[in-house]
Amino acid sequence: MTAPLIVGLSGTALTADEAAFLAATRPLGLILFKRNIGTADEITRLVAAAQEASGARLVLIDQEGGRVQRIGPPLAPRYPPAAAIGALHAADPAQAARAAWLAGHLIAADLAPFGINTPCLPVADVPVPGAHDVIGDRAYGETPDIVAALAGAAADGVMAAGALPVVKHIPGHGRAWVDSHVSLPVVEADRAALERDFAPFRALAATPLGMTAHVVYTAIDPARPATLSPAAIDLIRTDIGFEGLLMGDDLSMGAISGDIGANAAASLAAGCDCVLHCNGDLGEMDAIASAIGPMTDAAARRLAAAHARLGPAPADVTALRDEFADLVGAAV
């Protein structure tokens, strides 16, 4: 039975203990980081071995471009950050949307030979002046309409390449004054102000996969971050209208403290479809697996709908690389 869990791995080769854990737990997905990136053959072997052990079809990686790109040259081209694509919007919105689509499409095509089918993009957060730069140039712009248009185009580009995008960080990380990788942000904006943050996520509500933000929004739930908050998850589903498989952000991040198994169970009880654990610590993974139950029927349906969107990778993207380089002024 598939577990509502996406897990990281410790290195460039699957260990015997990891293989045993994956076989026993059957997580729905795997996620790679720089510690997992060796040679092209090593990446391919790691992915294949982990998928064989787990049965998981989804293989995730943070590959946005800019400073968030786990696989770089010579294995994959370097891409500019989302803000560089957003900068094109003022002169030509259509060209900016095309560049965003191409970036998503090309990134997905880069990953396909390794067996990686789920690049964790687009970022649909709208940063505000003075906020922590953990989002910064990862955002496509500073207004909801630009972010919605370009994040949506990037997601479409990923899907056109047979892969799955992950829209993040719902319901919005752009107002956070601290980095949720380190500590827990608390956003005290009123509900009316938060509507600005929600708008891009409403526009991307049909995206097959989404990720929550480890942020407390006092106007929604003054006590719990969105990942652990029934009120916030209800808002994501009913007000924002997000339809896809909803994962919490990484439970091993600094924003989430306390017992990791209890936090995993709380995230699922709040309404997340699955939990994400990234650091590759097998002890923590065991604790999470022991604390969570099976996928709900609704989560299983959303996962099946995501699987159905997977398709073949494009055969040749040479001309698209040239087009992207012409648009953004950087070869990829």
Which amino acids are annotated catalytic?
181, 249
* Residues 317/106, Cβ–Cβ less than 8 Å: yes
Measuring CA to CA, which residue among 226, 232, 129, 126 is closest to residue 174?
126
Query: Token pair for residue 306?
Result: 């995501």
Give the number of C-alpha atoms closer than 13 A to the C-alpha of residue 209, restricted to the C-beta side: 34
296, with CB counted inside 10 A (0-12, 13-18, 19+), is middle
Instruction: Write the CB contacts of 195 (distance below 8 Å, at least 6 apart in sequence).
Output: none
State how far the Cα of 24 lies from the Cα of 211, in Å rounded to an integer: 25
Q: Is 119 helix (H, G, I), strand (E, B) or coil?
A: strand
> DSSP readout, 184-206?
--EE---HHHHHHHHHHHHHTTT
Phi, psi of 321 (to 5 degrees): -65, -45
| Neighbouring-strand partners of residue 245 | 209
